[in-house]
Amino acid sequence: MKQRLLFGLIAISLCFASMAKGEEGQPFCSVAGSVDTGRNDILLDTGWAYRPISDPNPTVKDIKVTLPHTWNAQYDRKTEYNRETMVYTHQLTVSEAQLKNHRLFLYFEGVNSVADVFVNRTTVGQHKGGYTAFCMEITDRLTVGENTLEVWTSNAFRTDVLPISGDFNVYGGIHRPVHLIVTGRDCISPLFYGSPGVLVHQETVTKEQAELTVETLLSLKSGKQGLRLKTSVMDAAGKIVAEKEMPAVGERVEQPFTIAEPTLWNGRKNPYLYTVQVELLDGTSVIDVQTVQTGLRYFSVDKDKGFFLNGDQYELRGFNRHEDVEGKGSALSQEDHERDMQLITETGATMIRLSHYPQSRSFYQLADEQGMVLWSEIPLCGPGGYNFTGYVANAQDNARQVAQEMVYQNMNHPSVCFWGIFNELLVNDGRWKAWDDPVPFVKELHALYKRIDPSRLTTFATCVPQNHYLGCSDLIAWNKYYRRPGNEASVRKFYDEVHQTSGGQPVGISEYGDAGSPNQHYNPRHDKVRTHSETYQCITHEGYWRAIKDSEWLWCKTIWQLSDVQSSIRHEGDHDGRNDKGVVTYDRSVKKDIYYFYKTQWNPEPMLYITDRRFTDRRHAVTDIKVYTNQKEATLYMNGKKVARQKADDIHRVVFKDIQLCEGNNLIQVKSGKLSDECTWVLYKDKPQ
């Protein structure tokens, strides 16, 4: 077994070592060296080039790129929001032995939004939807020698491809990794909705025992008889805790397992993972193997007590997250995903809503490893308050397809507890204007989820009265903002009312928050309100959080959003075409003040932080100084002199009132035990407004 895996690694290394120049000066990848009948997964990240399909000039040189890639990452409303078709090409060399003994598949983790795939100018297939993976076999399209792979990618607006609306940019291109999968004639299929071909169904899980069914999808082409399937379940130390072998016959094999006294995946407390290894055997030879990880857990939601994980009440609080980074759009690297996860876990969050589409498989794996509960949803997105629709009947087929792809590709991830049906679909109710009525189709999607994965709960995010959607899902969640100072009473009143009128369905908060630029501030005692300032963002968040923090019946509380993102429909704040409600900046370089507010709420690690620290130039001598801390009290020093000591309030703020600044530099220091923080503000005597 170890020899087979080692051979696979050598074959992958040889593929990269064989990068050479083709006839047109483009790199190509040779897979001609291997005649092994095992599986190789080769990353095709280099050797790509692209050009607009609309350019008729055959002499124009293609632009060389490395994947992941998107062509419209930059947008500031001064440039066109580019939605068109580009052609990506790649050269692949294959030997006679390779074609005789192997099958070759192209596995795309994500192409936005429609991909037409060609090999040697012959159609292989088409995939609609930019945020789920898909796989196509290319064996019969290949010839001995050099082959041209071509992917026509379009992010143009279409009513039959999701999303047809939404407050985010749709980036075009091959924006997630591409793999060449090489197998023998008989293999564990990579073709079933882009899934790994091994699906772990958790039938019943308790602290005493876990009942599992491992479903393996097969693609058998050789005609050999007597093939067998061996499945092993291993704990985190690699010890086999359950094993079963049976004939490999037909297109799918189901193997039941019982694991006594399992170690449960327990969120941030203990994100314990098991490994499931499935081997396809021909006699004693392993001719294919697929390995997946999963975690064993059970969960529920109570309308009055909220979320329970493994029988214990477990608060779900965290962020919405878009795949969008400055300069890259949605073409994120592994390092980008890891950085976002680190930013989230540092706050003490326990949950992430993946808005508004299935995200990279790397991020699901990170969530498993870090113990983050996920809400994963399809891009069936409404426009919120904008005058457009998120649903027309023409999108139904694509929604059904993407829902199945999302479920089957991510079924093994213990982090995923909720399947999202839609975000902010409008209805006709006087205030809101819809096109086609979405409610019957929402009910259909709920039934689809429950049929293919009854182990998880369905939910949606609404901004219209919930009575339209009662009974359409297991759970309800609200996108409700109340973006104004003094919002606490209104927030509390609203959620108390929806709790009482939900028909017994649990209610959560899918989005809340406010805009905030770290470059904008104001003094609430003297200045006119600046609604996109860091100062204002903190004030509105503080009131909202105070209203909801003790409402344990709210099954989730997720902030909009982790980072600022691009949105072509917005004209506000510091940057055109940007939604600036993130708790960190678009490039992730600045953690805004509000980031530290939530860190004091959720993370018990001792912390002390002076707010408005970037508001350095002052023109009013009298000001308040606000500090976020999870300590009981803090002491203020001005220019080295002790000014006041004060206790923290119920939302972990210490506010020193009526502090007098002196003209010129003011060194502000706060201390609490061994903790300290400081910044400098400058008071200008005659500074203009």
Task: Provide the token pair at 141.
Answer: 């399209």
Contact 548, 509 (CB under 8 A): yes
Contact 209, 259 (CB under 8 A): yes
Please tell me the distance from the alpha carbon of residue 243 to that of residue 247, in angstroms, as a whole number.
14
Nearest to 1 by CA among 318, 238, 321: 238
Give Cβ neighbours of residue 353 (< 8 Å, ≥ 6 apart).
Answer: 318, 319, 320, 321, 374, 375, 377, 420, 461, 510, 556, 558
Residue 96 is among the residues annotated as catalytic for this protein: no
Instruction: Give the number of residues written for the chain.
Output: 689
Task: Provide the token pair at 183.
Answer: 């197998």
Nearest to 248 by CA among 278, 273, 274, 269: 278
Q: Which of 215, 424, 511, 542 is catalytic?
A: 424
Beta-bridge mates of residue 232: 243, 277
CA distances from residue 388 to 75, 81, 164, 426 in whole angstroms, order as listed: 21, 18, 9, 9
- DSSP SS3 for 646: strand
Please tell me the distance from the alpha carbon of residue 250 to that of residue 361, in angstroms, as a whole number.
28
Angle between helices 488-500 and 534-548 (to 10 degrees): 40
Task: Provide the token pair at 516.
Answer: 């905030």
Q: Is the dihedral of CA 293, 314, 442, 433 positive or negative?
A: negative
CB burial of residue 376 (10 Å; 0-12, 13-18, 19+): buried
Q: How many CB atoms lie within 10 A of CB 7?
A: 14
DSSP per-residue codes, 318-330: EEEE-S-BTTTBT
**What's the DSSP call for residue 109?**
S
Which residue pairs from 680-683 have beta carbons closer than 8 angstroms and sit at least 24 positions apart in sequence? 680/616, 681/615, 681/616, 681/617, 681/618, 682/616, 682/617, 682/618, 683/618, 683/619, 683/620, 683/621
Please tell me the distance from the alpha carbon of residue 306 to that of residue 319, in angstroms, as a whole number.
17
Catalytic residue numbers, as ranges:
424
